[in-house]
Amino acid sequence: MNRLAFALAALSLPIPATALAADGPMTLEQGADKVLTHDTIAWDFVEGITTEVGPRQAGTEAEKRGRDWAVAWLRDQGFANVADEPFEMETWVPGDLHKAEILSPFPQPLIVQPLGGTASTGPDGITAEVVYFKTVADLAAAPDGSLAGKIAYISHSMTPTQDGSQYGFAGPARWIGSGIAASKGALATVIKSVGTDYHRNPHTGGAGFPAGVAPTPAGALPLPDAENLERMFERADGQPITMKLTLTPQQLGTTTSGNVVGEIVGRDPSLPPVLVACHIDSWWNGTGAFDDGAGCGIVAAAALHVSHTGQPLRTIRVLMAGAEETGLWGSKAYSAAHIDEPIAVGLESDFGADRIWRFESNFREANPDLHAKLAASVARFGVANSAIVASGGADIDIARDQKTAIIDLQQDGTRYFDLHHTPDDTLEKIDPVQLRQNVAVWTQVVGILANEPGDILPKD
């Protein structure tokens, strides 16, 4: 295939990726250093899947094309034991009609997209008065039944944070907001997008409903539209604000998804492998570049670059999990299928493509020498050591389920929630320089782990 050649042309790099190995034996450190300026593999993955496949909504034919593409790419790159391991899931799709319109007192259209797992208004839409809640707590304090026949609007603004921690503050507006509103009788819910950009980008994402509460229609407004709606409340002098909302998502029932896996086989395949994970699916509204094509490119490129410095002791297994976005289906299925096959350590890349700035493990106390060695090894890339205990990302349930070692290579999330779950999650948002820093750090860390003979998280 010509993909690598195209990537090289796009990046104007003078030498092909294979030259990383062709210069003769390199140390791991030399290899990681070279990656910092020369990697093209991660970009090749994310450019390829976003261009040749595009959006990859979990459980759909588009995700299947994404998995097929990744399987072919892994084989092209020389990975062993490449497979698409199937699992079944309950599949939600967004449907075609996504409209919000203020009917009175200030008629104008707003942009809206549905939240994952929510119900349809039907193609004719619903029309109701909007009730404004500044925070999730305000909504939770509304009397039972008080939202009967109404559309709830939840504001709850988000601030950018380097560590992404405000997702925990603002996320509940989406995670539980429509469920709370439904439990109080609301016909539907619209939220200010859980996001930090001021473009006409709805930020979709999963929404949950309490047991016994039927899902209602629910959608996200872009920040400009949400603030416009809030100004309407300020200017309406108490007149009711009426919205027509049309959202037609569908539950398709059970469909098949899959987890794509591939391996750099180690010198001692009997040792538990190093698991490096990402997810292959994306929301339908973007091309899944930042979330999580980049992550898949990073982990796969790192595994290859480690192999270019010599066959590692342990196998490095790449897991490109299916159906992360709509309920971590792939991560759960992978853990269920492989729970009896111990892994040595799990790492995930799923926070965009900006610079890694902090190293965390869950074995700093149990294996302080290895923790210190790893942290010291990435200091030259600007990555700080941390006492925070790593808990791992969504796609490495198996590491948590096996209570094994976990490392988090924390990426700069300052602009992550500008793009997260939006139409704007497209290739050109990725900074090639920062993407390569990710690959270099991952190469360094995975290379050490894959050549570590002893337990990474020693058993008690």
Tell me how far, at minimum, the Cβ of 206 lies from a second copy, in Å: 21
**Span interacting with a second copy, options 112-120, 314-322, 346-354, 424-432, rule CB under 8 A:** 424-432
- Using CB under 8 A as the binding rule, whether residue 54 contacts a second copy is answered as yes
On whether the CB atoms of residues 392 and 351 are closer than 8 A, the answer is no
CA dist 197 → 114, 116, 422 (Å): 18, 20, 10
Smallest distance, a second copy to C-beta of residue 379, A? 33
Measured from the CB atom, is 241 or 440 closer to a second copy? 241
Query: Mask of contacts with a second copy, 60-79, x by CB under 8 A?
Result: --x--x--------------
Structure tokens at 443: 């190469």
Question: Is 429 a binder of a second copy (CB under 8 A)?
Answer: yes
Q: Which stretch binds a second copy (CB under 8 A): 134-142, 294-302, 423-431, 445-453?
A: 423-431
CA distance 301 to 316: 12
Tell the smallest beta-carbon distance from residue 224 to a second copy (Å): 4
Among 48-56, 160-168, 335-343, 449-457, which window interacts with a second copy (CB under 8 A)?
Answer: 48-56
Count residues binding a second copy (CB under 8 A).
41
38, amino acid identity: H
- When computed from its CA atoms, the radius of gyration of the chain, rounded to whole angstroms, is 23
121 binds a second copy (CB under 8 A): no
Q: What is the Cα 124 distance to its own chain's centre?
A: 33
Stretch that binds a second copy, among 124-132, 161-169, 228-236, 440-448 (CB under 8 A): 228-236
User: Which residues are bridge partners to 327 per DSSP?
Assistant: none
Cα–Cα distance, 377 to 53 (Å, whole number) = 36
Binding test (CB under 8 A) with a second copy, winner from 12, 14, 212, 237:
237
The position carrying tokens 């898949």 is 296
Phi then psi dihedrals of residue 208, to 5 deg? -110, 155
Identify which range of 53-61, 120-128, 176-184, 329-337 contacts a second copy by CB under 8 A. 53-61
CA distance 350 to 394: 8
Q: Is 89 left (phi over 0), alpha (psi -120 to 50) or beta?
A: beta
Interface with a second copy includes 55 (CB under 8 A)? yes
Which H/E stretch holds residue 259?
Answer: strand 250-264
- Partner residues linked to 244 by β-bridges: 101, 127
Strand partners, 128: 243
By CB under 8 A, tell whether 250 contacts a second copy: no
In the complex, what is the shortest distance from the CB of residue 223 to a second copy, in angstroms, rounded to a whole number?
A: 8
Continuous segment of H or E residues that includes residue 157: none
Is 53 a binding residue for a second copy by CB under 8 A? The answer is yes
CB of residue 301 to a second copy, shortest distance in Å: 19
Dig out the tokens for 254 from the structure: 């059970």
The residue among 212, 150, 222 whose CA lies nearest residue 181 is 150
Q: Which is nearer to a second copy, 246 or 444 (CB)?
A: 246
Asked whether the CA dihedral 288, 292, 298, 303 is positive or negative, the reply is negative
User: Which part of the chain contacts a second copy (CB under 8 A), choosing from 17-25, 72-80, 129-137, 425-433?
Assistant: 425-433
User: Which residue in 424, 435, 437, 439 binds a second copy (CB under 8 A)?
Assistant: 424
Written as one string, the DSSP assignment of 58-75 is: TTSHHHHHHHHHHHHHHH
What is the maximum alpha-carbon separation in the chain? 75
Q: Per-residue string for binding with a second copy, 193-212, x by CB under 8 A?
A: -----xxxx-----------
109 binds a second copy (CB under 8 A): yes
Residues that bind a second copy (CB under 8 A): 2-3, 6, 9, 47-48, 50-55, 62, 65, 105-109, 111, 198-201, 223-225, 227-228, 231-232, 234-235, 237, 287, 423-424, 426-429
